[in-house]
Amino acid sequence: MRIVLLGAPGSGKGTQAANLVEKYGITHLSTGDMLRAEVSAGTELGVEAKKIMDAGQLVSDDIVLGMIKNNIESIDGGFLLDGFPRNLNQAEALDSLLSGIDQPIDKVIFFDVPFEIIKERLLSRGRSDDNEETIEKRRKVYESETAPLINYYTKQGKLVTVEGVGDVTEISQRIFKALS
């Protein structure tokens, strides 16, 4: 199974990814986690990425596409993409990469969560990009860059919307049902 998790920052993609990879035995690919690993390792890429992430902006397409390409090509089995693609250019590049290896995306799960709930969740988590100012910037970037992917994947007939509010286990059940 090849899945994309789509939703605003804080909508629960990472939380639900953990349950999905366990249930379906697929590989979790999170561009945010990959970038944070670079930050923790103190690489040149990590130092540059941290500034961009803390400003709530998107890291360049070339960097994230390179990371995804390196990982996807070595996966034997299904995968779940979390936080990628994040704009139309990334989505088109992904489609082209996957059609080249004959492994198209099966489903895109869109997490529908009101911004006020997202804001509460992120403020209580407290990651370095979880302050009011950066949360607001991430929301704006999401609306202008990422939200158009809802339409992109609807047109492909792959989008499934899941209400992302409530108990974590209940939301997982909604997703399992949507994928069955």
Q: How far is the CB of 49 from ligand AP5 (least distance, A)?
A: 7
Using CB under 6 A as the binding rule, whether residue 135 contacts ligand AP5 is answered as no
* Sheet containing 107-112, strands listed edge to edge, beginning at the edge strand earlier in sequence: 27-30, 79-82, 2-6, 107-112, 159-163
Using CB under 6 A as the binding rule, whether residue 2 contacts ligand AP5 is answered as no
* Binding segment toward ligand AP5, per CB under 6 A, in 9-17, 102-110, 155-163, 172-180: 9-17
Residue 5, classed as helix, strand or coil, is: strand
Residue 57 counted as an annotated binding residue: yes
Nearer to ligand AP5, 37 or 101 (CB): 37
Produce one character per residue of 113-122: b if its CB has 16 or more CB atoms within 10 Å, e if not.
beeeebbebb
Residues 10-39 that bind ligand AP5 (CB under 6 A): 10-15, 31-32, 35
CA distance linking residue 48 with residue 38, whole number of Å: 10
Q: Which two tokens stand for residue 115?
A: 């911004």
119 within 8 A of 135, measured Cβ to Cβ: yes
User: Which positions make up the binding site for ATP?
Assistant: 10-15, 125, 166
Binding residues (CB under 6 A) for ligand AP5: these are 7, 9-15, 31-32, 35, 52-53, 56-59, 64, 83-84, 86, 90, 121, 125, 138, 168, 171
